[in-house]
């Protein structure tokens, strides 16, 4: 009986604090933007989207880092980042999938990654802002507290972008920290 209570206490503690979450991550332009481009006879411009694993030690550096600088050729933070990059537009992907069993997830687990920063090189001119006040940056906490549907078997994450922002499906709860 005592051993059962101990196991129950440990399990409830793990559930309360959450844990590292791995997803089948789908990245794609949003449908509305694709329809608008098609209706106007335009093709999608080239867009690079990076999924960057960031641990607690690195968080502040990435939070305030210039997204414009990030996508500048030879940027040292970009070059040293633990990331996977996907290219979209003419001759490139329509939908990119990073499976939950992809090697990058193990790398991030080994590095004790707590967040995935989604950095998008969108067309147009943007003012650099910290955190996700910059519409080209999305910050996702890898903790099951932020993903209530994950506990019920939803292991898919949808990330979309358009000419003005990068965003996630509405099943992400950004409030718990």
pLDDT of 142 reads 83
pLDDT of 49 reads 97
Residue 176 lies in a domain: no
| Edge-to-edge strand ranges of the sheet holding 156-161 | 96-98, 24-29, 156-161, 166-168
Residue 9 lies in a domain: no
Contacts (Cβ under 8 Å, ≥6 apart) of 106: none
| Edge-to-edge strand ranges of the sheet holding 113-121 | 83-88, 47-55, 113-121, 137-141
Can you give the residue range of the structural domain that contains 86? 18-168
Does this model's pTM top 0.85? no
pLDDT of 12 reads 30
* Cβ-contact 24, 155 below 8 angstroms: yes
* Cβ-contact 120, 71 below 8 angstroms: no
* pLDDT tens by residue, the chain, 177 residues: 434 333 232 223 333 334 667 888 999 999 999 999 999 999 999 999 999 999 999 999 999 999 999 999 999 999 999 999 999 998 787 889 999 899 999 999 999 999 999 999 999 999 999 998 999 999 988 875 655 555 444 578 889 999 999 998 755 544 433
Domain count, the chain: 1
What CATH number has the domain bearing residue 121? Answer: 2.60.40
pLDDT of 141 reads 86
Residue 4 lies in a domain: no
pLDDT of 90 reads 83
Residue 1 lies in a domain: no
pLDDT of 107 reads 95
Which letter does DSSP use for residue 172 in this model? -
Q: Could you tell me how far CA 137 lies from the centroid of its own chain?
A: 9
Residue 76 lies in a domain: yes
DSSP-derived secondary structure for 114-154? EEEEEEEE-SS-----SGGGSTTEEEEE-SGGG-GGGGGT-
Q: Is the dihedral of CA 96, 36, 127, 171 positive or negative?
A: negative
Residue 24 lies in a domain: yes
Nearest-angstrom CA–CA distance, 37 and 16: 45
Residue 81 lies in a domain: yes
Burial of 139 (C-beta count, 10 Å sphere; 0-12/13-18/19+) = middle
Residue 175 lies in a domain: no
pLDDT of 92 reads 80
pLDDT of 144 reads 58
* Cβ-contact 32, 165 below 8 angstroms: no
């Amino acid at each position: 009986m005592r051993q059962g209570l101990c196991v129950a206490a440990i399990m409830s503690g793990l559930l309360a604090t959450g844990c590292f979450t791995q997803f089948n991550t789908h990245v794609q332009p949003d449908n509305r933007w694709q329809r608008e481009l098609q209706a106007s006879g335009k093709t999608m411009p080239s867009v690079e989207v990076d999924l960057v694993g960031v641990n607690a030690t690195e968080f502040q550096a990435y939070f305030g880092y210039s997204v414009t600088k990030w996508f500048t050729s030879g940027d040292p933070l970009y070059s040293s980042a633990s990331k996977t990059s996907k290219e979209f537009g003419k001759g490139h992907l329509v939908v990119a999938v990073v499976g939950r069993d992809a090697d990058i997830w193990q790398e991030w687990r080994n590095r004790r990654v707590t967040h995935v920063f989604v950095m998008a090189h969108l067309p147009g001119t943007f003012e650099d802002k910290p955190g996700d006040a910059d519409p080209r940056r999305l910050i996702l906490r890898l903790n099951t507290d932020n993903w209530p549907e994950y506990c019920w078997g939803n292991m898919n994450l949808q990330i979309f972008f358009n000419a003005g922002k990068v965003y996630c499906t509405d099943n992400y709860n950004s409030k718990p920290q």
